[in-house]
Amino acid sequence: MLQIAEIREHKDAFAKALQKRNIDAKLMLESAITIDEKRRGLQAELDETLAQSNKISKQIGELFKSGKPQEANELKAQTGELKERSKVLSEELNKAVEELQVVLYNIPNIPQESVPAGNSDEDNEVVSEHGEVPELHAGAQPHWELVKKYDIIDFELGNKITGAGFPVYKNKGARLQRALINYFLDKNTEAGYQEMQVPHLVNEASGYGTGQLPDKEGQMYHVGNEDLYLIPTAEVPITNLYRGDLLEEADLPIAMTGYTPCFRREAGSYGSDVRGLNRLHQFDKVEILRIEHPDKSDGALDAMVVHVKGILDELKLPYRILRLCGGDLGFTSTLTYDFEIYSTAQQKWLEVSSVSNFKTFQANRLKLRFRNGKKGTELAHTLNGSALALPRILAGILENYQREDGIEIPEVLRPYCGFDKIS
C-alpha cells in the first residue's frame, strides 16, 4: 500500500509510473488526496473540540471549588454540546479513514524505472538464457503421458476424490516430490534462510497485509464459517509473522524459507497450457522471503535471483530469466524476475519461480517498521521468491530427462530420492 504522504508529494510522478501497468491512476491518486485532506480537517477539528472541552472541564472544577456553582453549571451545558460535537466528528473521521483505506488498498505498487513497458507476458524482457535444450528420442512424450506410463501421478484419482487440479502423487512420483522439497529447503537453509513451518490457513488481516486481499480475493479459497483463507503461497503466513512489529536495525536482514501446499482457484480447465502439472488448484512450493533495510533491498533481490539460478544450474534444466513488463507485474511488486524452464516435450517455456521486491508496499500494510537510529522508525522492505514451485519443475524433469528406457533423475537429487531412474 502506498503511503499517503508520498502520494501527496509525488502524485504526478506516480501517475506517470503507473502508466507502465496500463493504468490511468490520476483519479485514484487525486481521490486519495481529497479524502486525506478531509480526514486531516476532521482530525484537526476533533482535536480542537476535545482540547476546548478539556479546558472548560478544568474551569468547571475551579468554579465549583471557588463556590460558584451557577457559573459552573452554565459551562456544563457547553461541555455537553462539545461532547456531542466530538462524537459526530469521531464518526465522520472513522468513515473518512475507512474510505481512504479502501482507495489506497486498490492502488497497485509503483514499478521501478527498469520495468519495461508492455501489456502482457509477451512483452516481458528476456534477461538471459542458460543451459542446453536436450535432444529427445523419437516418440518422447509430455509429462501427462509419462506419469501414466510409469504410474507415478494419477490425475483421475485426484479428480475422483476432489476435482480437477488436485493430482495424487504415487510411488516414485511421491518420493521425487518429497526429494525436491527437501533439496530446495536444504539449499535455502544452507544459504542462510531460517526454515519456518506455518499454518496453511490465514485470517483476513493476513491476506490484506501481503496484498492478496482485496486484489486476488476471487482466486483464494474461502472457509466461510471461520472467515479464513487457504493460502495461495507461503509468502502470506511467513511475511505476516512480523505484522505490526517494530524491529531493531540490527535485526535486519531477516531471511526465511518454508514449504507449504498452495491453493488457487485460478486454474483453467481447457488447453495444453493447463494440462497435467502445468496449472493446478493445489500444488507444493518452497518459498524464500526477506525483510531488508531499504538501502539494501535492491542488492538482496539480485542475490535472490542468483540463488534461484544456482538451484536450476544444479538441476541442469534449460531456463531463462525474464524481467516482467508493467502489464504483467504483480499488484504488490515494484520489480519481478521470472524464471522459466524449457519443456522440450511440450516445446514451451514453463514458469517455475517469481522473485520480487515489494519495497515498502507490504510493510505499510503490515505496519512493519524498524528503528533507524536518529531517523526514528522507518518502514522495512519485503521481498519474496519461489525456490521453487514444484509442479512445473517436476514436469520439466520428467520431460527433459526422459529416455527410451525410463526417466533419469538429476544427479543432485539422487541422494534425496534413493533411486536414479524411474522405469
Q: What is the 3-state secondary structure (H, E, C) of 297-347?
A: HHHHHHHHHHHHHHHHHHHCCCEEEEECCHHHCCCCCCEEEEEEEEECCCC
Assign 59 a pLDDT band (cuts: 50, 70, 90): confident
- Beta-carbon contacts of residue 80 (< 8 Å; ≥ 6 apart): none
Asked if 8 and 127 sit in the same domain, the reply is: no
Cβ proximity of 276 and 155 under 8 Å:
yes
Residue 359 to residue 371: CA distance in whole angstroms: 17
In-domain check, residue 115: no
Cβ proximity of 232 and 263 under 8 Å:
yes
The whole-number average pLDDT for the span 201-220 is: 94
Asked if 26 and 161 sit in the same domain, the reply is: no
In-domain check, residue 111: no
The pLDDT of residue 63? 79
Assign 118 a pLDDT band (cuts: 50, 70, 90): very high
Residue 422 to residue 409: CA distance in whole angstroms: 8
Cite the annotated binding site for L-serine by residue number.
Answer: 233, 264, 287, 384
How many domains are there within the chain?
2
Asked if 180 and 239 sit in the same domain, the reply is: yes
Q: Can you read off the three cell numbers belonging to residue 281? A: 488448484
**Which of 56, 79, 105 represents a domain boundary (last residue)?**
105
Asked if 150 and 99 sit in the same domain, the reply is: no
Asked if 187 and 96 sit in the same domain, the reply is: no
Q: Which tops the pLDDT comparison, 61 or 256? A: 256
The pLDDT of residue 267? 52
For 273-297, b/e burial (b = at least 16 CB within 10 A) is: eebbbbbbbbbbbbbbbbbbbbeeb
pLDDT digits (tens, 9 = 90+) for 222-277: 998 999 999 999 999 999 999 999 999 999 999 999 999 999 997 554 455 678 99
Domain range for 19 is: 4-105
- Among 54-68, 178-192, 215-229, which stretch is predicted with the lowest mean pLDDT? 54-68
Let me know the angle formed at the C-alpha of 333 by 39 and 282, rounded to the nearest 5 degrees: 115
In-domain check, residue 114: no
Assign 192 a pLDDT band (cuts: 50, 70, 90): very high
In-domain check, residue 110: no
Asked if 129 and 79 sit in the same domain, the reply is: no
The pLDDT of residue 62? 82
In-domain check, residue 223: yes
Asked if 15 and 148 sit in the same domain, the reply is: no
Q: Could you tell me the CATH number of the domain that includes residue 30?
A: 1.10.287.40
Q: Could you tell me the CATH number of the domain that includes residue 289?
A: 3.30.930.10
The whole-number average pLDDT for the span 297-325 is: 98
Three-state secondary structure call for residue 62 = helix
Give the rounded percent of residues in the chain with a pLDDT score beyond 70.
Answer: 98
Q: Which of 43, 41, 18, 21 is nearest to 29 (CA)?
A: 18
In-domain check, residue 202: yes
In-domain check, residue 112: no
Asked if 150 and 72 sit in the same domain, the reply is: no
In-domain check, residue 116: no
Asked if 182 and 277 sit in the same domain, the reply is: yes
Asked if 26 and 132 sit in the same domain, the reply is: no
Cβ proximity of 310 and 257 under 8 Å:
no
Q: Can you read off the three cell numbers belonging to residue 262? A: 498452495
Cite the annotated binding site by residue number.
Answer: 233, 264-266, 287, 351-354, 384
Let me know the angle formed at the C-alpha of 175 by 132 and 256, rounded to the nearest 5 degrees: 75
Asked if 233 and 277 sit in the same domain, the reply is: yes
Cite the annotated binding site for ATP by residue number.
Answer: 264-266, 351-354
**Which of 105, 138, 155 represents a domain boundary (last residue)?**
105
pTM: 0.93
**Which of 105, 129, 163 represents a domain boundary (last residue)?**
105
- Among 61-65, 87-91, 244-248, which stretch is predicted with the lowest mean pLDDT? 61-65
Give the rounded percent of residues in the chain with a pLDDT score beyond 90.
Answer: 88
The pLDDT of residue 224? 87
Asked if 190 and 317 sit in the same domain, the reply is: yes
